[in-house]
Amino acid sequence: MPEIQDVREVVREKYGAIAESRASGCCGEGESDGCGCGCSDPSGAAMQIGYSAQELASIPEGADLGLGCGNPLAFANAQPGETVLDLGSGAGIDCFLAARAVGPQGRAIGVDMTASMIQKARANLAKSDLSNVEFRLGEIEHLPVADASVDLVISNCVVNLSPAKDQVFAEAFRALKPGGRMLVSDLVLTRELEPALRNNVELYVGCVAGASLETEYLELIRGAGFTDVEVVNASRYEVGIDALEPASPERDAFRVVRSIKVRALKPA
């Protein structure tokens, strides 16, 4: 891939276009943009990757853009009164769910590097009855939060987009209170992609080409200082594959991708 800043600009432009061009749902007919986005029915895709109908009914319209690869909160055990930080919060789906899980005494903070996505999330917040959610513009490699200020870090199919994943995990570790935890839903590779696929920009912004080998991904988390690193759920990932040509190299790339949910702890 190009230089790190160039990668960020490609991702920012792609997801900015999704935020600006679609009121709800990132996929138009026959289109495939981003993680988890392979149909014109984002709610259907969300249920396919682990969200319940009840959860989807509790969020503002337009908060689910179909960009995830799992439901991190299903494995995070968010508790009343906790502060939750969502890395790459998009239009806000996981922040809104986290805010309800932690209750009015808790807090949910979303960070996204795309200004138009932050604008969309804030507009969604204005349509809700929640007062314990905020969205901050920033890069997940340079989180705009204080040291040791959150209880739980979550992320949904975003870390794989970063060209500096080690820095992302180091920042998550910094932001967590001692004894805090992280639960990320993400895409990883079971084997290396061929160079031509690794350098495919569409696959990169689609969360495939930027993915790490699973073993390397887990080592990056441990390297940031986390302990008790555990894959609590894993599944095949094929959302959006039907939009690709049957014999295309891009379709082949999905065969080496899987969705995992990883839990890790910051030592007390």
CATH number for position 42: 3.40.50.150
Tell me whether strands 150-156 and 107-112 are parallel, antiparallel or unpaired. Answer: unpaired
Q: Give the model's pLDDT for residue 48.
A: 82
Would you say residue 40 has pLDDT above 80? no
pLDDT tens, 183-218?
Answer: 999 999 888 877 666 655 455 445 555 788 999 999
Does 32 score more than 80 pLDDT? no
Mean pLDDT of the chain: 84
Q: Outline where DSSP puts E strands in 20-99.
A: 83-87
Q: What are the tens digits of pLDDT across the range 50-65?
A: 899 999 999 999 999 8
Print the domain residue range for 188: 4-265
Identify the pLDDT of residue 240.
63
Query: Which has the minimum average pLDDT: 77-81, 111-115, 128-132, 252-256?
Result: 252-256
- pLDDT, residue 142, reads 97
Q: What is the pLDDT of residue 7?
A: 63
- pLDDT band with cut points at 50, 70 and 90 for residue 12: confident
Q: What is the pLDDT of residue 258?
A: 87
Return the pLDDT at 24: 38
Question: At residue 34, does pLDDT exceed 60?
Answer: no
Q: How far is CA 134 from CA 2, 80, 154, 193, in A?
A: 33, 17, 15, 37
Q: How many CB atoms lie within 10 A of CB 4?
A: 13
The count of domains in the chain is 1
Per-residue pLDDT at 248: 67
pLDDT, one tens digit per residue, over 133-165 is: 999 999 999 999 999 999 999 999 999 888 899
Question: What is the DSSP-derived secondary structure letter of residue 103?
Answer: -
**For the stretch 106-137, what's the b/e string if a residue is b when 16 or more beta carbons lie within 10 angstroms of its beta carbon?**
bbbbbbbbbebbbbbbeebbeebebebbebee
Residue-wise pLDDT tens digits, 65-118: 888 889 999 999 999 999 999 999 999 999 999 999 999 999 999 999 999 999
Residue 268 has what pLDDT? Answer: 94
Report the pLDDT value the prediction gives residue 202, as an integer from 0 to 100.
Answer: 55
